A and B are shown apart, each in its own frame.
Chain A
Amino acid sequence: MATDTLDKKHTDHDSTANASWDGAEYPFKVGYGKLMIWYFLLSDAFTFAGFLIAYGTLRFSMPSWPVPDYVFSTFPFLEGHHPLLFVTLMTFVLLFSSFTMIRAVQEGHRENRRGVAIWMGLTILGGLGFLGCQAWEWTTLIGKEHMSVTTNPFGTHTEAGIYLGADGKESAETFKSGSTYLMHRVTFGDTHEAATAAHGEATAPAHAEGEAATGETTHAAEMAHAAEGGHGAHAYAAPGDYPDAVVDERGFVHRKYIVSEGEHAGSTKSEAFGPKAFGALFFFITGFHGFHVFSGVCFLLIIMINVLSGIYVSRRNGNEMVEKIGLYWHFVDLVWVFVFLVFYLL
């Protein structure tokens, strides 16, 4: 394709788009803009690689790291544990938009303006869909699971143990080394109602399914957290040391457990926060990717309008501008392949 459009350009003296790049030959047989977008993408690839390598380095340096299939296991309108389902959906949305983008580029080559606009419109919808998914994911993590840039309530056990029940004795709930937990957060209300409403899970231990209805904890229905009389006796009305947990000033419930294996067997400990870097890396890297998607949507919109207005017709280069934004859009998809691998799969 590129060759025939370029030949056209060679003989076309009206085309001033590549004037400063005009020599006897096109270096690498592509237009200036397309070559430069390739080099921009190369530099962007290094930026993302730097971030992902930082993630890997910090993960390797920590004794434990939250297990992704536990952290990312929520799905809109569904209760319970759905590991990786939602991010797989997000991946498909982005892949689909990559496909519609390539169709737009192909229609551009045959100067079919209407076709370009339709397929670009679908691409924009895909991009917006992806951003919507990400917004939901972030909202759940921040609003319901209380993860932030500096606080990571997702910890991982490095020893096997048995949780303590409300009476301060061993409960039937055990865990293995390497399993990830989410520390729940309670809000301290003035009235009993406020406390129980905010921490519905604690007051409804007998029916694990019912607790999701309170809407407080999304990971609630699984992990047998509230089962077996977990900590049903309290609503943790204030910070302090309870028989089965330590509640800190911010309301995070650090459940107590007895280590059942290894060096520290028999000692009582309470759950700690997970590696702080996890939240910061997650929000920064997926945020940076999301920002790429967002700016991509903006550029797509601008170029779609330009295509419809007929600006590119006079250039007679097979809508190369659509091809350039296409390269950027596929790159965003390419980055997602690796974000998906590093954050969610490994």
Chain B
Amino acid sequence: MAHDYTGAKKIALKTIIILAVVTVIEVLVALTGKGYIIDGYHAPKVIMNTLMIGMSLYKAYLIVFEFMHMKYEAKGLMLSVLLPVCLLIWAIIAFLYEGNAWKGNRVKIQERNKIEIAK
């Protein structure tokens, strides 16, 4: 935190404004991707989702580092809280991959059932 009170006040105000603006942009991106903003135009999902995830991570950064003052804490504290969170990266990849595999299995089972009925 900035050492003087007025400086801290300014930073807080700046941060909340950025957060609000990013939120609005996020919603607009989501709606553009779904074809609401430009009539009938569905922007590519991959790009829109990447943008939204990126903006959410930025918001998370602002909340943790400015609002929760992580920026001004000792480095050891920062690392002991943030490093474990990195474990989630693998959890997300592994579980989503698994979920996708279930979908593949479902399709396979349906195909097999069809073959058996045909017999």
Contacts and interface: CB of A to CB of B under 8 A. Distances in A.
A334 B74 contact: no
A92 interface: yes
A326 to B, nearest CB: 8
B103 A109 contact: no
A276 interface: no
Interface string B26-60: 11011100101000000000000100110010011
Interface string A161-204: 00000000000000000000000000000000000000000000
Interface in A181-231: none
A153 B24 CA distance: 29
A82 to B, nearest CB: 10
Chain B, interface size category, equals: 35 or more
Interface string B56-74: 1001100110011100111
A63 B88 CA distance: 25
A15 B92 CA distance: 45
Given A92-B20, A106-B9, A42 B81 contact: yes
Nearest to A345: B30
Interface in A56-101: 56-63, 67, 69, 83-84, 88, 91-92, 95-96, 98-99, 101
A154 B19 CA distance: 32
Given A1-B72, A69-B34, A92-B20, A330 B63 contact: yes
Interface stretch (A28-36, A127-135, A254-262): A28-36
Given A39-B81, A61-B103, A98-B16, A333 B88 contact: no
B88 A49 contact: yes
